[in-house]
Chain A
Amino acid sequence: MASKPEILNAMTIIFRSELDSPKLKLQPDDNQESVTGWDSLAHIRIIAALERKFAIEFELEEIESLTSVTLLADAVSSRLASH
């Protein structure tokens, strides 16, 4: 199972690719406001990429509410834990 730093690392790779910003550094308190390009379309792509990477599925309500890096990382981690 992936640790928190591993999840954050994987998220950084996905964000960089989905937002086309190769040098992006994700901070835990980053959110949709603070990260350039993280709009609702990018959000769907990020969610889809995370689901594929970790072989998990989020619920619809979560998709809407996971608007910060910490929330996303926690959700991935709890999904992996419940496997």
Chain B
Amino acid sequence: MTLTSQLDWLPKPEESTLSQLEQLDPESLQIDYELVRFANHAWEEQQLRRLGRKAGLTFARANRTSVSPLPRVRLLIFSHSTFKHMVDTLVGAGLRCGIQIEPTIVEFQNPLQWLLSQQLNVKFDFVLFCSLVGKSQFADVTTGAGNAERTVQGAIAAKLADAKSCSEKLGAKIIIELQTENFLGPVSNSDTKLSDSQKRQLARFNEGLADGASREGYFILDTPLLASLVGYANWVDPRLFHFGKIPFRSEFAPMYLTRLANIMAAASGKSRRVMVTDLDNTLWGGVIGDDGPAGIVIGNGNPAGESFLAMQHYLLALKARGILLCIASKNTHDVAIEAFRNHPDVVLKETDFAAMRINWNDKAKSIREMAEVLNLGLEAFVFIDDNPAERKRVRDDLPQVAVPELDREPSRWPMQLSLAGYFEFASLTHEDLIRNAFYNAESRRLEIKKDAANEMQFLESLKMVMDIRRFDDTGRKRIVQLISKSNQFNLTSARYSDAEVASIQNDPDVISIQVRLADMFGDNGMISCVVGRINGRSLEIDLWIMSCRVIGRCVEQAILQYLVKEAKQLKLDWIEGEYRPTSRNALVKNHYSVLGFDLLSDDNGVTRWRISTKDFKATDLPFHDVTRG
């Protein structure tokens, strides 16, 4: 596993997405958030270039006549190495960030002379000054006291003067690229000790540019940072530099250009400011509703616990930079919130979050609500969740929200998020830093409006395949495990030993089923078990458990349809069920009521329910297939 040119925080394009790319027609292409979502795949450089090329043709046609929801960004680029080979890819990278980039590239020319020679009738929004590449303007060893410093100061002043002229003449915002190390000269460990080594001069040069940028309100494109993140030896391809002054290996172009586009998107009012996080297996290991606050994996002394702790510290560091933290989690609020209140190793606290939705609702809905509460556009949101189905759900419903793919390995997440570079600041100000406090107060005052998303369509797109079969030897071990682990979605808290499960399996008066669920993201394995006993004309449900991971997938409804069918075959008129409350299973209090059962009795919260098998009407459910073993 290498973190190099692959943008592994973006979903891999599927076969159908690839052929969609081939079929995109610039004549009929819509410049909208559908296209933004399409651009946010882990396209290879050639593919992003093709997408950008087609979109660029559409921009040229559409600009005068139609209004696009994506802001137009006209960018003038001055470069002393080749840039033209990236022009289409740049357009594609812009789409990823929700902006429509129209680049003008000026290579190997003095910026001011070029400006004077042009009769410009185009307005530019941004001017990018690319850095020198390969060679350096600084001598390798000192040529005399004071000379090196003079050269450095002179180079800083010249660059800032160019920037100032462009800013004044064009009224454009300025982006200055910092300069990476010179890969043509010798380097050694001692270079840093010599005050006039090229390395030190370069560091002072970059610092001077950064100081100037901060004084003047310019933006910085920190290419040395990117080169070091991906590894400098990988970054350069000296062959292509000598062949065509290609500044860096072209497979890094998507990453480089996406970072550039991020700056312009942030400066055009589309900066990401909110990080929404899931809880179970994202902020800690395990499922708090099932494992209890003491059972979650978090904290020092355990490798997995440390990596989740590192993730929590990463979020705290984002918060310190003014990023708002929010929670969208499917959990029982009172159970999950315990972790923040009482768990000694959970470093995030309730007050670190500007808004939270800990409930069993659709997460796209939760995020929409929080956007309203915080009074921010959905473009400001990033959402992280370990569950690919939740990620897809939010991605499908809210294309404005950035939803990174997360590595299977949580210890890689901080690096992955840094490479993705979501949080670009137009300018990091004192206001940014105190914004959190403001939002915390604000969000508590505001009321929430409700909005239903089209969940059925989403469920159908998951291509779920459910497998229902009777208890058997193969499944027994997992059945026993699931029964002992399920605390939240557990109607009766009945517990069965291995031997009891074995005897149930052969009892003719018992209907026992195990349910597996697979979807386009893979096999969820066994996710539910139900045990019912035949008593007279009724089937009495003694056990109904389900993994919380698949809540909201209509699994319960499908199981009920199966039970009704079985019961009818056995000439049973009723299915009866019971809910026995525990400290953890409030989630399923209304389980039978939602499924259409009638209340028979309520004895101190223990409720009994019944449904008639004759009157039961099966509805269409969003499963691709249901197999019966």
Contacts and interface: CB of A to CB of B under 8 A. Distances in A.
23 contacts: A17-B46, A17-B50, A18-B46, A20-B50, A20-B53, A22-B22, A41-B84, A41-B85, A41-B244, A44-B240, A44-B244, A44-B250, A45-B46, A48-B45, A48-B240, A48-B251, A49-B46, A52-B251, A59-B239, A60-B242, A63-B240, A63-B243, A64-B243
Contacts of B242: 60
Interface in B76-117: 82, 84-85
A27 interface: no
A9 interface: no
Interface string A14-55: 000110101000000000000000001100110011001000
A17 B47 CA distance: 9
Interface of B: 22, 45-46, 50, 53, 82, 84-85, 239-240, 242-244, 246, 250-251
Secondary structure type dominating chain A contacts: helix
Nearest to B238: A60
A73 to B, nearest CB: 19
Interface residues of A, number: 16
A49 B240 CA distance: 13
A22 B251 CA distance: 22
A63 to B, nearest CB: 5
A74 B251 CA distance: 25
Nearest to B53: A20
Nearest to A22: B22
Contact of B85 (A44, A58, A64): A44
A41 B46 contact: no
B562 to A, nearest CB: 49
Nearest to A44: B244
Contacts of A52: 251
Contacts of B244: 40-41, 44
A43 B244 CA distance: 10
Closest 3 pairs between A and B when the two form their complex, measured CB to CB: A60-B239, A41-B85, A44-B244
Nearest to A59: B239
A56 to B, nearest CB: 13
A54 to B, nearest CB: 15
A45 to B, nearest CB: 6
B82 A41 contact: yes
Contact of B243 (A17, A22, A44, A45): A44
A63 B239 contact: yes
Q: Which of A18, A58, A60, A64 has the most CB of B within 10 A?
A: A60
Contacts of B45: 48
Nearest to B47: A17
A17 B51 CA distance: 11
Contacts of B243: 44, 60, 63-64
A18 B46 CA distance: 7
Contacts of B50: 17, 20
A52 B244 CA distance: 19
A14 to B, nearest CB: 8
Nearest to B249: A48
Nearest to B87: A41
Nearest to B45: A48
Given A44-B243, A45-B250, A63-B243, 5 more contacts: A41-B82, A41-B85, A44-B240, A44-B250, A60-B243
A45 B46 CA distance: 8
Q: Which of B22, B53, B82, B243 has the most CB of A within 10 A?
A: B243
B629 to A, nearest CB: 45
Contacts of B46: 17-18, 45, 49
Nearest to B243: A63
Contacts of A18: 46
A40 B22 CA distance: 25
A45 B250 CA distance: 8
B238 to A, nearest CB: 8
Nearest to B237: A48
A45 B85 contact: yes
B108 to A, nearest CB: 14
A22 B250 CA distance: 22
A41 B240 CA distance: 11
B250 A48 contact: yes
Contacts of B239: 58-60, 63
Nearest to A62: B239
A58 B243 CA distance: 12
Contacts of A17: 46, 50
Nearest to B57: A20
Nearest to B250: A48
Contacts of A58: 239
B15 to A, nearest CB: 16
A61 B521 CA distance: 46
Nearest to A48: B250
Nearest to B54: A20
